[in-house]
Amino acid sequence: MKEGGNPMATNKRIGIMTGGGDCPGLNAVIRAVAKRAMFEHGWEVFGIEDGYEGMIKRRFRRLEAADVSGILATGGTILGTSNTSDPYAYCVPGAKTAARKDVSDRVVANIRQKKLDALVIIGGDGTLYTAARLSRAGLKIVGVPKTIDNDLGGTDVTFGFDTAVGVAMEAVDRLHTTAQSHHRIMIVEVMGRRAGWIALYAGVAGGGDIILIPEIPYRLEPIKAKIHFRKTIGKRFSIIVIAEGAKPLGGDVVVKKRIETSADPIRLGGVGVVLGDQLERLTGQEARTVVLGHLQRGGSPSAADRILATELGAEAIRLVSQGIFGRMVAVRNGKIDSVSLDIPAEGPRLVPVDHPLIAAARAVGTSFGDE
């Protein structure tokens, strides 16, 4: 492991930041980072509010033990977050167009002026990509991987994923009864951007008849055939779980809108509605679509996510205490480990088409819209 400097025996001030979208378990990480820093090392801990926006505008606040007590089960983040404030392409407030400016020097200066000896940055690929650049600019940073999408490179799993799968699974469970009562096709659209982890796991756990993920482009005919087959065996309803980034063979994703002030301006959404309209015409059967959206990101984290977030947060402080920076804590082969901060930027971790869970789902008759 790469050493980033001398151990933090004399360093006394660290900062914590949460960036990107909110996620169940963020507060559990904040709690673990702050409590270990305070109780084991006696360090001062400062929260940086609203992600990189807070770094740019000096929104620092001292955290006491009372501030991080009782937040383990609380959703969201007590520090606030933002996914529209990239220090290397900051959208200038008040500009008539999306004018962008590199203000990274300001961020480095603000951190040094605050005399923060190290930063723990909690975020997804975009947040950690920026963290890697700031690390190369001289800041001492340890990253913590966060996303409900479970698609971050360098780690086998991210906290927030288990909670999101549970929410989606419960939705599928509940929709079974109304689908069966009205003999409908019920389509559940879940998050995941370009990765199908949530759709795959929630679809299998919820007993979805058809699961559509970005990694396996679908065709309408196999979906129609699956629905028809179910009718022949007396099942007059079908449940489809579809990832927001799923797309037909030879087609493209459905874009809900663009947010030009964001570092990642494309917002996916609506593929379930498009598919429902197509299937109604093809099958003559009524279809209804439920888009779960931000429901998957809210609420209290599951037990698994609370435990994982606590482990990752505690490991982050262990690295800081040993002077190891430029790293992201991670789960590798079932163990807590760390990797270079540069790895998350290498691209999303997609579902392998030969994943054992896909094989298991196919074995019990689940269709992936490709055969």
Contact in structure between 120 and 312 (CB atoms under 8 Å):
no
Using only C-alpha atoms, the chain has a radius of gyration, in whole angstroms, of 22
For the chain, give the number of residues. 371
Tokens encoding 142: 């340890």
Q: Could you give the dihedral angle defined by the CA atoms of residues 110, 115, 117 and 119, in that order, rounded to the nearest 10 degrees?
A: -40
- How far is the C-alpha of 305 from the C-alpha of 202, rounded, in Å? 16
Closest by CA position to 324, among listed 127, 154, 120 = 120
Apex 369 CA angle, 364 and 370, nearest 5: 100
SS3 370: coil
Q: In what order do the strands lie in the sheet with 141-145?
A: 60-63, 44-48, 13-18, 118-123, 141-145, 327-332, 335-340
Active site residues: 149
- DSSP element (H, E) containing 45: strand 44-48
3-state SS of 155-188 is: CCCCECHHHHHHHHHHHHHHHHHHHHHHCCEEEE
